[in-house]
Each structure stands twice: as C-alpha cells, then as structure tokens.
Amino acid sequence: MAVRAINPISRTYRHINRYLDIIGILVKYGFGEILAKLGLHKHLDFGKGSILGKAAAEIAAASGWERARMALEELGPTFVKFGQIMSTRPDMVPPELITELQKLQDTVPPFSTADAKRIIKEDLGSSVDLIFKHFPDSPTAAASMAQVYKAILPDDDVVAVKVQRPNMNQIVEVDLEIMRDLATRIKRHYKEQDAVDPVKLVEEFARAIRKELDLRIEIAQIERFARIFPSDVTIHVPKVYRDYSSSKVLTMEFIDGYKITDITKPEVLVCDIDPKVVASRGADLILKQIFEHGFFHADPHPGNIRVLADNVICFLDYGMMGTLSARHREDLADILIGIETKDERKVTRSILKLSGHRQFGDEEELESDIVEFIDVYAYGSLKELELGNLLNRFVDVITEHQLKIPRDFYLLVKALVTIEGVGRELDPDFNAVEHAEPFAKKLVLARMNPQRLIKELYGSVVETGMLIHDLPYSLNGMLRQIKQGDVKVKFEPTGFEHVLNTLDQISNRMVFARVLASLVVGSALIVLSGIPPKWHDIPVIGIVGFLSAGLMAFYLLFSILRHGRL
C-alpha cells in the first residue's frame, strides 16, 4: 500500500499539530534554513512564523550529523526506525551520517501496563487474568514500537509477551504521510539530488515499517527460521504460541541464557561455555543462513543473541530479516572466490550481474578499481584480513560507480560486519573470512552438480519451446495493431509539478469560495425565514452560518496574503 499524499484539508485538520511538532524539532536542531527552502513558511498557515524564528543555541556545538541523529531521536519511533534503516544504506547516506545513525537509541519510557492489558484483551478476546497464570505489573524491556513482559501460561510455560504500543498504526501512518510530503518537497527543490529519489525512499521505508507493525509477520519469520534448522543442535529457535498471539501481541518462549558479550566474564566461564566455540558457531550460523538458505537474521547485535548451556546460540527479535535469491547468492559467492583467486574480470562480471547490468559504459574503469581493491585485500595474510573492511570497501566501489544492488545485500553486509565484531570480541584469533570461504566454494561447486545442470537444461528447452510456440501469435498481434493504427507511444512530461500544484491550489480556492458563497446565501435565507430558535428575533442558525462564513472568508484572505498573491 502506497503512502497517501497530504491534501490541503487533511493537512489542516489531521496533520497540522504533528507537522508543527516536527518542524519545531527540526528548527531546534538547526535545520530551519532547509525548511524555509522547502517552502514550508508559505504552506503552513498556523504558527510557522514563531517556529522558524526559534534559536537552537543549546546544540550549536554539535556537528550537523550529530544534530540530525538527535533530531531523529526526538521525532519519535517512526523517524528512529527510518534512521536505523538508512544506517544500512551507504549507497544513499554519507559515511559520517551512517556513523551517527548507528548510535540511534531505540529505548523509550514504558507505557502503562493497564494499556498493555487492554490491547491484549482487545486482540486476543479475553482478559489477561484468564489467559495467563501470572502477568507482571511492569515490563522487562521497552522499545519505541513495543514492550515485553515475562509472563506464565496456565501450563506453567514461561513466555515473553511482546505488546505493541497503543495507537502505533495511526501514529506511524500520520508520520509516513508527513515524511512523504517532505520528500516531495525535497525532490522538487533539490534537483541536484536526482540520484536518490526521496519519495521512492519513503515508499520503501513504509513497506519495511508496516511489516514490523504486524507481529503476525514476525511470527511467520520465526517459524520459517525454525524450519531452516530442524535438527541443528548448535542453535535454539524460540517456540511461538500462536493461540496467544495476534497482529499486536506476540507470545513466545522466554529465553534466559547469557548475553553473548557477557560470556567472557569469569562467573560465566565456569558454566561450560567456551567463547571461542560460540564465536565460531555464531559465524557459521549466519553464513549458513546467507549462503545455504538465503534467509538471514539481519540484526544480530549482542542484545539479540543469547547463549544457552553447551554453547547453544539463540537469536532474538525476528522483526528484521533479510532475503537473497539463489542467483544473488551465487553472484556473491563468485565475487568472494574472484577476490581470493585475484580474478578481477570475474569479480567485475559478477558485480555487473548482481546489479542487473549486463553491459556497463565504464566497465574498464570499474575493473581498474577492482584491481586496486584486490591489490589491497587479496595479497595480504588471510589472518589479517577483516571481512567487515573488505565488504565496506566493496560497497564503496559499487556506490562510486552508481550501481544498484539488491537492498537486502546491505542488510547482509551489516549482519556480517556485526557478527565479525562480536566474534573478535569473544576470540581475538577469530577470522570471518576463513569461515566464509568454504561456504562460497560449496555454492560455486553446487552449480556444477550434474543433476542441477540437467534440470537447468530441461528448463531452458521448455522455455525455448514455449517461446517458439508463442512467437507467431505475438508477431501476428503486433502486425495487426500496427495495421489498425493501435500502436501507442507513451509520453511522460516532466517539470510540470509546479504548474500542477498551482492549478490544484486554484481549483481548491474556487471550491472554497463557492462553499463560502453558498453558506452566505443559505444563512441569509434562514434569517429571512425566521426559523426558531432565535436570538434578538434573529434565527440562531443564520447567525452561526454568517459567523462561519466570516471565519472562512478571513482564512481565505489570510491564506492568499501569506502566499503573496491577492
């Protein structure tokens, strides 16, 4: 579902307070000039003059990137999530800003347990006292989108109950519509940013955050994750209780264990947990998810990983998952193998294939950069090679040549960089490249499997046969359309946004004026008719009509004067 545009009526009555809050926060952190350039001082008719005049001396010492991060934190959960997702997109966001966005805090004060119980009752159809044997008075954790309670079911199962914040859907939808309005203005006024479409960016973000708002999607992702590792003793996937879950409530097995970065503490080392084994297993599990299944946990930071007895690993929070198709996994494997074998042609072809470019204008320049890239990373010691640096530099090369790659590839890079950092913290000798190499080679060798080759050959023959079978009909249809003059040329004019907006504004004012005139005429007729109730022998309804017409006329005149056109 696309994000709706804000029309003048909805902007006045539905969004004005939130819009003013957002502008006030942005001005507070020093972005008033940008807002003025976006034309908001002409389009917001209430209170904008005082807002744009505010000073932000208390944050003057912070850098622009720091102020952007602080502003997002104060703007609330929708904007925090936007910043967190943008921190995984180096193709769109400057490195300095990414560094700040990675610091975004997703912790907020908890909402009341009474509200949580009300949401559970509304969604599950029964009161908390009937569903749970015990439900605590306070949550164990609170985040911007939801908070978690440690409860007990009637059969004594200990569960974690994730409850979405009240009115979260409405809050996010209003914020998304305002973000789309801001993106439209940025696209109109900052033509130099054509490489990145801000409206498309907001639409992509809207799809991601709406998925997170529906906890049923997270339930499905947990169950899919469990099917990937049905008999793997190195990993534990939490059990989901579907009968006690809904779109706003997620009930799952409560996982205790140890936070992965705490297992090096002396009191944990005596509990039969080996940090080196955990580091190795954690890396292998992430690599299995990526190369073998194409479905991976995209946010494996220390807070989302628990270590259980016997070095068993458990991932938490399955709201952000990444997917890679079989073709994209093979392209990634080819790139890693090409770097290892110092084959710049193979790496270049694989990058172009991954980005969807079969031919590329500056292929020689791209290959030259790949040669330099390989010289830096492939000729050193494998033990000294860091997968995080390699992948980040690889993304830099792709970004410099303005190539587009699957968006989940950036989540993959983030996951691998994160797990490498955790692995090195647990084991100083940990090397992620040594773990990734066998998975890449296995995927490349699988491509030469005779059974697969026969299957692909059979598929190609079938496709060719269907093409040959349909070709005469397709050609006949094309010739018939040409003969009948039904061939149409699609023409999309650009640069008329300002004209269309002006026409839209004119039509809105004409409708407004007609409604105003009708209200005046109707009120006059009511006054002349003498319909009770009356005040000083004048019908009250007529008085209300004339007052409403006067206010509307004043608002219309005020709006025209504010836009500088009488």
For residues 191 and 340, give the distance between their C-alpha atoms in angstroms, rounded to a whole number: 41
Q: Which residue among 91, 181, 299, 408 is the active-site one? A: 299
Q: Annotated catalytic, 299? A: yes
The token duo for 14 is: 């539905």
For residues 324 and 158, give the distance between their C-alpha atoms in angstroms, rounded to a whole number: 34
Nearest one of 313, 317, 321, 295 to 304, comparing CA atoms:
317
Write the DSSP string, 515-543: HHHHHHHHHHHHHHHTPSSEETTEEHHHH
402: left (phi over 0), alpha (psi -120 to 50) or beta: left
**How far, in Å, are 233, 343, 372, 392, 433 from residue 378 at the CA level?**
35, 10, 10, 15, 11
CA 11 from centroid of its chain's CA atoms: 24
- The DSSP H or E segment spanning 163 is strand 158-164
Write the DSSP string, 388-448: HHHHHHHHHHHHHTT----HHHHHHHHHHHHHHHHHHHH-TT--HHHHHHHHHHHHHHHTT
Longest dimension (CA), the chain: 98
b/e 160-190 (16+ beta carbons within 10 angstroms → b): bbbbbbeebeebbbbbbbbbbbbbbbbbeee
Q: Where are the beta strands (DSSP E) in 324-412?
A: none
User: Catalytic positions, please?
Assistant: 299
